[in-house]
Amino acid sequence: MKSMCTKLFLFLILGCCQSILMAQEVEIVESKTSTSSIGIIAGYNPFPKFTTSSKPGFYAGLSFEKQFEEENANSTSSIIIRGMYESMSAFFEVPGESYPSRLPNGTEVNQKTRHTTNIRYSMATIEAVYKLNPFGSKFGFTVGPSLSLPLSTSIEQRFELLEPNDVRIDIDPSIPADRYLDSNRTIITSPEGPIKELNPFRIALKFGVHYELIVARTVIVPHIGYNYGLTTTSKVDGVRINAIQAGVEVRFAL
């Protein structure tokens, strides 16, 4: 599914690039007029990943690019600095133990269970990536570090009985009744609240590919990349935030 969605995104991006180039063939200026530019960036995390997960997120902010060869506005390498707000949400599960149980008709079956975790995580991010467009082409690569400060977090954990369908979880009087859901087949083992012992920073490595559309003094850059978390969300677990990210950056020459 991820592979198919990624291929579809790339196909759409390439199609948009071709359409714009054909429609504005005469107007496109092939060389930049400045060695630095500033702009905005926004995108979507179609496949965020906390070990195993499913929920999407987004990112948005400002970017600044500086060419390494100041005397050459068509330099193939540069440094890009970005300041962004990022939101990453996730769901992941761990199979639970199998317990034997007896149905009302006397049949003995094994119960199938799982432990689930829902996480929401937003942060302020600053990153510096090295950009290279090999052979002077419009296609290029970026790689560099990312440092984030968590702004808000939440986590909720549950225990769920999946099979058989006609078995219920025995009620524990020490657990509040409102934590039992789905006709007593789900228990909220840890109510929603901030992540405990949260790490004060998130450090990541980002790498990706892009295509640059240069129109007059504006650069439009559709991109897709991978955000690999080097640190965990807290000091008491090994949950890492990773995400495939896709978006557009628009910069204006200074």
Q: How far apart are CA 118 and CA 134, in angstroms?
A: 41
Q: How far apart are CA 232 and CA 203, in angstroms?
A: 9
- The pLDDT value recorded for residue 202 is 95
Percent share of the chain, pLDDT over 90: 48
pLDDT tens-place string over residues 155-211? 999 999 988 887 888 888 888 999 999 988 999 999 999 998 999 999 999 999 999
- The pLDDT value recorded for residue 71 is 55
Q: Say which residues have a Cβ less than 8 Å from residue 50's Cβ, sequence separation at least 6.
A: 88, 90, 92, 117, 119, 233, 239, 240, 241, 242
**pTM score:** 0.72
- pLDDT class of 47 with cuts at 50, 70, 90: low
- The pLDDT value recorded for residue 111 is 84
Please give the sequence-ordered ranges of beta strands (E in DSSP) within 105-217, or none if there are none: 108-132, 139-163, 180-181, 186-193, 202-211, 213-215
- The pLDDT value recorded for residue 191 is 93
Contact 189, 196 (CB under 8 A): no
Provide the residue type at 190 as one letter. Answer: S
Distances (CA, A) of 142 to 166, 180, 198, 246: 54, 48, 29, 13
Question: Which one, of 84, 76, 86, lies nearest residue 212 by Cα?
Answer: 76
Question: Which one, of 65, 114, 77, 7, lies nearest residue 252 by Cα?
Answer: 65
**Mean pLDDT, rounded, for 210-223:** 94
pLDDT tens-place string over residues 18-39? 544 443 443 434 444 568 999 9
> Which residues, in sequence order, are bridge partners of residue 19?
none
- Please state, as a whole number, how many other Cβ atoms lie within 10 Å of the Cβ of residue 185: 16
